[in-house]
Copies of this chain bind each other. A is one copy, B any other.
Amino acid sequence: MPVRPRRATSQDVANLAGVSRSAVSLVLNDRADGNIAPDTQATIRAAARALNYTPSSVAVSLRRQRTQTIGVVTDTIASTAYGGHILIGATEVATAHGYLLLTVDTHDNPAVETVAYERLHARQVDALAFAAMGTHEHDAGPLRDAGGPAIMINCFSADASVASVSPDERTGGRRAAQRLLDAGHHDILWLGGTLDVLAARERLQGYHDAMADAGIRARDPVIGGWNIDTAYEAALAILRRPDPPTAILAANDRAAVGVALAAARCGIDIPGDLSLIGYDDDENVAPVMVPPLTTMRLPHDELGRIGMRMLIDQLSGSAPSAPAQVVVDCELIERASVAPRSS
């Protein structure tokens, strides 16, 4: 194994260039303006390059009292996929502003959450984010107590004491139902989800809003869970009845797969005999389903991007003084699982 050479320091650069460390610092931080002779600057830059010098970020952090690091704690995102896009969006804008993310996943354990903030605080992160897998109300206490800039992504606090950004699931549910109504369907069934989940209640409420607006009686929703198997069973029972709906609004994309499986089993064609809309736009499911699934996209990348931008605004003092509660729209992705109602 080769011996790793000691990292070059600004002193090394100064020595090589024949100047003082101050000069090196000034030049490398672009503050040499009218202070240092142009050719001296060139010499210094050359020396830095020759030594492959990078300022020690820990020394800089100590001196500036800023680490250019943002701590983000997640409840279960790192563990369960999908949510990953929140992190992608967040990373994108953090990186653009020179921040790196220090991530810790709590596996949904509140005790771990508190410890996480403490560890992150000890690491002197400049700001803190909490990002949730599923939209829900979340206790802002630990985050607020940490002091300093903070943001909640894909969740929000009841008392609005911490800024947050989350999707508008209710309008999402309404629009999905509206799409089906516009295609001429009256007999639209809500299927899937569980009512302990806020997102399900909101989406379902949106569906009810749309039906009410259209003056059409809604069917009793079938609370068929979030997974393929549970939705399959629920759908099978419904589709075998004499009066199946002509359209189904699935609580999420995986439930939609269950519906598709049940329909295939019953010889029911999608979208010929049955229109179907999902929720999430899960990249591993919706675009590759048979047929490709029309679905409401959860704006995860955007949530991450917006949240991080709000956090950076706080860091730079340009955020509004009252914590903002931002809500972002869900977009309907049209594919091939919806057809006009056959007369």
Contacts and interface: CB of A to CB of B under 8 A. Distances in A.
A195 interface: no
B321 A1 contact: yes
Given A91-B105, A260-B261, 5 more contacts: A4-B148, A54-B121, A95-B104, A101-B102, A254-B288
Interface in A261-311: 261, 264-265, 283-285, 288-290, 292
Interface in A68-118: 78-82, 84-85, 87-88, 91, 95, 100-105, 118
Given A288-B229, A290-B258, A59 B62 contact: yes
Contacts of A101: 102-103
Give the bracket for the number of chain A residues in contact with chain B. 35 or more
A147 B321 contact: no
A103 B71 CA distance: 12
Contacts of A78: 84, 87-88, 91
17 contacts: A1-B321, A4-B148, A54-B121, A54-B122, A56-B124, A57-B123, A58-B123, A58-B124, A78-B84, A80-B284, A100-B104, A100-B123, A101-B103, A103-B103, A229-B288, A254-B288, A284-B284
Contact of A290 (B91, B100, B229, B285): B229
A124 to B, nearest CB: 6
Interface string A226-253: 0111101000000000000000000000
A119 interface: yes
A257 interface: yes
B284 A254 contact: yes
- Among A78, A227, A321, max chain B CB count under 10 A is at A78
